[in-house]
Amino acid sequence: MSHYLDYAATTPVRAEAVEAMLPILTENFGNPSGAHLLARAANQVVDESRERLAGALGCQPGEIVFTAGGTEADNLAITGAVEGRGGRPAGLAVCSAIEHHAVLDPVEHLGGAVVAVGADGRIDLEDLRRTLTSQAGSGGTVAVVSVMLANNEVGAIQPISEVAAITRELAPGALVHTDAVQALCWLDVASLTAEADLVSISGHKFGAPKGVGALVVRERAEAGSKLVPLIKGGGQERGRRGGTHNVAGIAALAVAAELTVAERAEQVERVTKLRDRLADGIAASVDGAIETGDRRTKTANICHFCFEGIESEALLFLLERADIMASAASSCSSGAMEPSHVLTAMGFDRAMAFGSLRLSLGYASTDDDVDAVLAAIGPAVERLRERG
């Protein structure tokens, strides 16, 4: 039996989401932008899904822009905010050092500024203040400040309302974006992102399929009028994102989001116990195992360690031989030549960062999964230290 402990990479699609998609892939296949009966039926699915998703995210239906996933939502938030209406750049992008590459790469591409984090993986708010102050002092404008709600590698939860307050104070014109891709299963996204102007989500992190996500664009912040669309085309999503709707994906997104939010409290309690048993067991049975972050300020599902004296790619191989599927850091960095930028930003040296292991749990994780890891990991680490 296989033990899947990589929910932060992706999740299995929920049965209810599959059920919602099937009729749209078969009989109800219309293009929602059209005018005839089938088109109107498809449009109804998109409209209803938008309302249901808005309910789950605590926003207005008109504030939702459907995208092809979290990376597109993040790129739209950063690039769309910086590019500026009327051909003039709106200003600088600022983000934290532990952002997903979907934020970090566009920010760095656009010459933006990166704010430090502490050893616990949480943003250094004083450094954010310094960055915004020095930008204002040099006569520059900040277009967008982007800080993720929960980190994808170590699970560190970021204080978004404080980030928003500091931004309002020191860079009043800037949009506040948060990448909430990892958060919906584990945090009250609706309330924690209430102060953010832009919020990214991704369906496959909570039981919808890959290739669908959304960016919340708050009307009160006039964020919509400030954002330049990345994908220009047929005027869908009120001109904010061209391209025929992924109707089946959108239906699944709404169903999965509703279920996830409804079950969240119960799942957080259940998965926290699993994660704590897993992390306590690893810490107790493996010498030189450093648990990253602070459990009080990380999401319930993340169990993340750095091991002295081993390389994670070898550990993952041995875990796979024990039918355990896990990751070193983010799945995007598998086979990468450089250690995780998140761990580097948290102050881990190169050797420790190359010895990282992320075990991420989810809605279908069980005690069996935890037992399997606890049985396999000690001997695996020991073997690698002896022979690796």
Partner 1 sequence: MSGTNGSTRPRDVLVAMSGGVDSSVAAALLVSEGYNVVGVTLKLWGGLGDSGCCSVADVEDARRVAQQLSIDHHVFNFGDDFNRFVVDPYVADHQSGRTPNPCVECNRHIKFDKLFRRADALGFDLVATGHHARIVTSTDGRRWIGRGADAGKDQSYVLHMLDQTQLGRLLFPVGELTKDRVRALADELGLRTANKPDSQDVCFIHSVGGRQVFLGDRIPLRPAVVVDDAGAEVGTLESIEVVTLGQRRGLNVGGNPDRRYVTDIDHQAARVTIGPRRDLLVEAQRVENVDWAHQPVHGPCRVQCSAHGSVRVGRIEAGERPDRVIVVWDQPQQLVAVGQSMVFYRRHGGPDRDGTALDGTALDDTVLGGGVAAAVVASNGR
Torsions phi, psi for 318 (to 5 deg) = -70, -35
E strands, 118-239, are: 142-146, 175-179, 198-202, 213-217
Question: Nearest distance from residue 332's CB to partner 1, in Å?
Answer: 14
Torsions phi, psi for 112 (to 5 deg) = -80, 180
Whether residue 254 contacts residue 105, with contact meaning beta carbons closer than 8 Å, is answered with: no
Question: Nearest distance from residue 3's CB to partner 1, in Å?
Answer: 18
Question: Nearest distance from residue 351's CB to partner 1, in Å?
Answer: 9
Nearest to 124 by CA among 349, 350, 346, 348: 346
Give dist(CA 294, CA 279) in Å, integer: 12
The site for partner 1 (CB under 8 A) is made up of 311, 313-314, 317-318, 321, 334-338, 350, 354, 383-384, 386-388
Question: Nearest distance from residue 344's CB to partner 1, in Å?
Answer: 14
Nearest to 305 by CA among 323, 284, 274, 332: 284
165-188 per-residue burial string, b: 16 or more CB within 10 A, e: under 16: ebbeebbeebbbbbbbbbbbbbbe
Question: Nearest distance from residue 29's CB to partner 1, in Å?
Answer: 32
E strand or H helix that includes residue 304: strand 302-307
Torsions phi, psi for 40 (to 5 deg) = -65, -35
Q: Which of 368, 386 has the CB closer to partner 1?
A: 386
Q: Which of 108, 162 has the CB closer to partner 1?
A: 108
Token pair recorded at residue 307: 């091991």
Give dist(CA 33, CA 100) in Å, integer: 33
What single DSSP character describes residue 150?
B
Q: Which of 105, 311 has the CB closer to partner 1?
A: 311
Query: Which is the catalytic residue, given 95, 185, 306, 332?
Result: 332
Question: Nearest distance from residue 166's CB to partner 1, in Å?
Answer: 37
Q: Which of 353, 373 has the CB closer to partner 1?
A: 353
324-325 vs 64-67, strand pairing mode: unpaired
Q: Which of 158, 312 has the CB closer to partner 1?
A: 312
Establish whether 332 is a catalytic residue: yes
What single DSSP character describes residue 85?
G
Q: Which of 280, 308 has the CB closer to partner 1?
A: 308
Q: Which residues are catalytic?
A: 332
